[in-house]
Structure 1
Amino acid sequence: MTPVRNRSDVALRGVYEISKILVTPGRLENTLANVLTLLSSFLDMDHGIVALLDPAGDPHTVIGMGWREERAHEYFGRMPERAVGQIVTTAMPVVVPNVATSPLFAGWSRGSDDAPTDRVSFIGVPIKDRDRVMGTLTIEQLWREDSHYHSVDEDVRFLTMVANLIGQTVRLMDIVGRDRERLMAQQSLLEKELSGKSAPAADPLTGGIVGQSPALRAVLDKIRIVARSHSTLLLRGESGTGKELFARATHDFSPRAGKAFVKLNCAALPESVLESELFGHEKGSFTGAVAQRKGRFELADGGTLFLDEIGDISPAFQVKLLRVLQEGEFERVGGNKTLKVDVRLVCATNKNLEEAVTKGEFRADLYYRINVVTIRLPALRERRDDVPLLAREFLRRFDDEHHTSHGLTPSAYAVLNNCYFPGNVRELENCIRRTATLSSGEGITHDDFACQHDECLSATLWKGAVSPPFRIISPPPRAEVTDYSHPGSDTPTCANPDFCEHVKDSNLKLERDQLIAALESTGWVQAKAARLLKVTPRQIGYALRKHGIELKKI
């Protein structure tokens, strides 16, 4: 009885280890290959194959131990149809102690690695989804003439438990895939409904675009004109200028407004996933493709497809995208049916595509396909009149989310109006949210901003962090502002202290005696001395270095 108990312990440990593999997130192909590898350490296996079948009974996924999927498919295809068919038909295990004497394996040969003195046994168990057989788990064992062939009852029970775990895992992945497809369909339907409701709106300030500056109005006027056609639109501009909002506005102003607006960030996905996301895939086209899935092109049929960061796709994928743009047709991954779609394409990038074409990183023919109509979005420094409107809107959204109430004082507006904002609208929103979060009162003043305490990184950003062709050449000329938060006060504040010093330090005229007197009266606290002298703390530091004054520690 001891050997039986030992084999039972081995099976129990094996089921535990295999269950840990199956619950680990990953591709189904890799997961099943790891299961077979682990099985070989618990059983005397020579070959092991997991085959998953489609409803017609044809294998769509075949994984062999230590084999590429192509070879596993080939080997499984040579296995006796009677043996595999009996497992699938009866939904029961099949055990063959010696395949050479079994009628199920009549005329079958394992291949060139056969050894005449070897006896080959076969064990196959069904992989089930409830009562339906969805695949098979088969192993082969080699027995030398001098080896003792033990009872395989424990091996069959062990393999049956493993097959049940595999069936539950595949079924769960299938459910997840169907749910994802259903959610995407619901999202597409919701977007269509929302598009239909927003289509009649003629106000260009809808859709999250806030502003009344001439630069913004000019862009919206162009978008209104371009939206009437079906031409491909390329939106260019610095990061944070709101390309997605303008792409949505193009859709809303177009005759396609009643259809879907579908978006995809090309830089967020690897090439293999990007192809499936855009073109869709057929069931069984690759490991893990447990159901047919529509791509973004199909979901956007009749509507608009927005491809963000188009300049970051690989040269290999550029060829695939070019065909769709040229012919308006494609095939799903793993499919052979050609699908035609009617999609308005809007692309966006902050890269210098002309430079990429010159370097061979971006195809010239694709460049001309997407560069039919180009609209450059203005940076926030080019539409400064919109800064107060945007700041109030972002503060309103913050208050709505957090059930608070804040307001911007005149001194706060003065700081915002003179900030360079190299991160554009995105940076402005971040600035407002951070300031509102840390503000101690309802009224936000100039002192609540990070730039007033040397904690703002804007100065670092505008010193060359913006990529060509939108590189910042020089900061704006407006550097000094006046704080009107208190009547009669003219204390200067600045949103970019480094830049303010760059402009002002050359004109700084603080006498040595005047500076020492101010520091003495404030206990040698630079910030207090700066307020007394109506300059910035950084200017005080510059004057200290200029006059060679050593700070006293009180």
Structure 2
Amino acid sequence: MIERTELIEAELDTLYLISQVLNSTQDLQAKLQGVLEILHKRSGMRSGMITLRETENDAMVVTAVHSDSAVKPAQPVRYQPGEGLIGTILDAGSTLVVEKVADEPRFLGKLGLYDPELPFIGSPIYVEKSELVGVLAAQPTNSLFLGERARFMEMVANLIAQSVKMLRAMERKQRDLLSERDHLKQALIKNYSFENIVGHSAPMLKVFDSIRQVAKWNTTVLIRGESGTGKEVVANAIHFNSGCASGPFLKLNCAALPDTLLESELFGHEKGAFSGALAQRKGRFELADNGTLFLDEIGEISASFQAKLLRVLQEGEFERVGGTKTINVNVRIIAATNRNLEEQVTEGTFREDLYYRLNVMPIHMPALRDRTEDIPQLAEFLLGRISAQQGGRYLEIKDSAIRILMKHNWPGNVRELANRLERAAIMSPNGIIDRDVMVNTGLEDEIGHHVALKPQKGPPVDLNDDTLDDRERVIAALEQCGWVQAKAARLLNMTPRQIAYRIQVLDIAMKQI
């Protein structure tokens, strides 16, 4: 009775110590090794071994071993279902007790771990009632109370199961997060590849060449151009096609913040640096370390802040607001502006040394009016995005609408074109954007007589082109004749009555010139 009481006390003490190990912050391997050591030292269960099921098959691989004389195998040791004592437990799914290992024909001794004269107890490790994930095995130092010791081993196996369950859940979550990260990263790279900078005109081919050249090096880039020309798209393309594509890519519009907030936003601040600074905060430069920082509207920053920015660009170091510690960073700077910096340097509103530090590799984005031949391709690309935003809705733009677009001056550049096409898509009930839909967006009103009187670029539309439908053919003829029905009728070999009927049937809105 005294021996049984001592055994129960030792087992309770062992369970407590094992629970502490399993609740520690160590990795699973260290936890399992610690469990076997406690079993060996505190409960008289020697030659401990834990196997865990491999996720890709039903085999059990030896994960942890503890013995005074055991040597860790050079290669992983595995047990298949039904193979040896471990395989038998895996197959049966229940605790196995052997009174003497030497008398057990199924014993394989793969590890050279067990004493053939001692008993053997192996218990399955269940995460759920039906999910067996491993086996806990050890040898009692004698044959006393094997039933009680088997139940004790089952309790230890249950404690191990909880740790394994939590680890498996964390591993699945981590795999899902990594998979989602990789998916999003691939989507980013795809979204900001060269294919998403649309254009085949000579000015755009020059831009593509500049991007390919500058992406190879970690040099500062200054993107010039009017608002809405796609400077941010180019900045994205440079980063995601460069050697620092795996690093962070941060953006900041310098015109959106006053100097005090701009300094805190870029350099960060220490706790208590100013009213409201309740905690330390890293700035964009620090967060973009080993990556890219895109500074939009760089021409808007004040003269006082230009000096602070120049130091970071030249030395790669700064201090947080309210701090004294110098922080060094490796950040690639891409700046953008629609301002005439040369003029600002002459006027003294922009530092000359900062201008030269930024203008290492300039890229000039052409205005849309200077590359009107890209408008058809741009319209198709933008309509694809608008279609996705509208749930995959079918959208089609007719040549008659394209011709209207190509005659506009586009003061808002590509941003204005995207806005106009989205408006046209909303106003088109069937998703087909023709001349009338485009006129209904207000584009014709803004152009006025300029549309009809401005000479067309290139040859007139071929009225015999089989790809034109009746409506487009009639509109093209009217446009070529200044919307005079009689002249358009002669071009189409019709009578004035016939073309008037066609205009009515095809629901063509006549322009008054």
Q: TM-score, normalised by structure 2?
A: 0.54
Q: State the alpha-carbon separation in 1 of the partners of residues 300 and 179 from structure 2.
A: 29
- Determine the structure 1 residue equivalent to 2:346: 358
Q: State the alpha-carbon separation in 1 of the partners of residues 188 and 383 from structure 2.
A: 27
1:416 Cα offset (Å): 2.5
Alignment counterpart, residue 470 of structure 2, candidates 473, 482, 486: 486
- Determine the structure 2 residue equivalent to 1:537: 511
> Which deviates further from its counterpart, 230-239 or 396-405?
396-405
Q: State the alpha-carbon separation in 1 of the partners of residues 328 and 310 from structure 2.
A: 14
In structure 2, the CA distance between the partners of 1:203 and 1:304, relative to structure 1 (3 Å rule), is closer
1:438 lines up with 2:432 in the alignment: no
1:456 Cα offset (Å): 4.6
- Determine the structure 2 residue equivalent to 1:409: 398
In structure 2, the CA distance between the partners of 1:331 and 1:452, relative to structure 1 (3 Å rule), is closer
- Determine the structure 2 residue equivalent to 1:277: 265
**Paired amino acid for 1:489:** R
In structure 2, the CA distance between the partners of 1:489 and 1:374, relative to structure 1 (3 Å rule), is same
1:381 lines up with 2:366 in the alignment: no
User: Alignment RMSD, CA only?
Assistant: 4.2
Is the CA contact 1:446–1:452 (under 8 Å) kept in the aligned structure 2? no
> Which deviates further from its counterpart, 395-404 or 432-441?
395-404
Is the CA contact 2:296–2:336 (under 8 Å) kept in the aligned structure 1? yes
1:318 lines up with 2:297 in the alignment: no
- Determine the structure 1 residue equivalent to 2:360: 372
Q: State the alpha-carbon separation in 2 of the partners of residues 461 and 354 from structure 1.
A: 34
Tell me, what secondary structure is at the counterpart of 2:235? Answer: helix
Is the CA contact 2:400–2:475 (under 8 Å) kept in the aligned structure 1? no
Q: State the alpha-carbon separation in 2 of the partners of residues 343 and 460 from structure 1.
A: 51
Q: Percent same amino acid at aligned positions? A: 46
Is the CA contact 1:420–1:476 (under 8 Å) kept in the aligned structure 2? no
Deviations 1:484-506 (CA, angstroms, capped at 9, x unpaired): 44268343599xxxxx9xx999x
1:222 Cα offset (Å): 1.2
Question: Can you give the 5+ residue segments of structure 1 that lack an aligned partner in the other structure?
Answer: 1-188, 463-474, 495-499, 512-520, 540-554
Is the CA contact 1:421–1:428 (under 8 Å) kept in the aligned structure 2? yes
Tell me, what secondary structure is at the counterpart of 2:473? Answer: coil
Q: State the alpha-carbon separation in 1 of the partners of residues 471 and 379 from structure 2.
A: 23
Deviations 1:399-430 (CA, angstroms, capped at 9, x unpaired): 22223222112322222233332221111101
Structure of larger gyration radius:
2
1:328 lines up with 2:316 in the alignment: yes
Is the CA contact 2:253–2:297 (under 8 Å) kept in the aligned structure 1? yes
In structure 2, the CA distance between the partners of 1:237 and 1:191, relative to structure 1 (3 Å rule), is farther
Matches within 5 A, 1:245-260: 245-260=233-248
1:476 Cα offset (Å): 8.4
In structure 2, the CA distance between the partners of 1:476 and 1:318, relative to structure 1 (3 Å rule), is farther
1:232 lines up with 2:220 in the alignment: yes
Q: State the alpha-carbon separation in 1 of the partners of residues 395 and 481 from structure 2.
A: 33
Between Structure 1 and Structure 2, how many residues are aligned?
A: 316
Deviations 1:188-221 (CA, angstroms, capped at 9, x unpaired): x999967964798799534x32233343232112
Tell me, what secondary structure is at the counterpart of 2:246? Answer: coil
Q: State the alpha-carbon separation in 2 of the partners of residues 256 and 287 from structure 1.
A: 36
Is the CA contact 1:191–1:261 (under 8 Å) kept in the aligned structure 2? no
Matches within 5 A, 1:422-501: 422-450=411-439, 456-457=445-446, 478=457, 484-486=468-470, 489-492=473-476
Is the CA contact 1:233–1:371 (under 8 Å) kept in the aligned structure 2? yes
Q: TM-score, normalised by structure 1?
A: 0.50
Q: State the alpha-carbon separation in 2 of the partners of residues 312 and 397 from structure 1.
A: 31
1:397 Cα offset (Å): 1.9
**Paired amino acid for 2:367:** A
**Paired amino acid for 2:277:** A
Q: State the alpha-carbon separation in 1 of the partners of residues 406 and 443 from structure 2.
A: 18
In structure 2, the CA distance between the partners of 1:447 and 1:364, relative to structure 1 (3 Å rule), is same
**Paired amino acid for 2:382:** F
Deviations 1:367-424 (CA, angstroms, capped at 9, x unpaired): 1111111110122233333322221222222222223222112322222233332221
Question: Can you give the 5+ residue segments of structure 2 that lack an aligned partner in the other structure?
Answer: 1-177, 488-496
Matches within 5 A, 1:62-141: none
Tell me, what secondary structure is at the counterpart of 1:449? Answer: helix
Tell me, what secondary structure is at the counterpart of 1:212? Answer: coil
Tell me, what secondary structure is at the counterpart of 1:489? Answer: helix
> Which deviates further from its counterpart, 350-359 or 390-399?
390-399
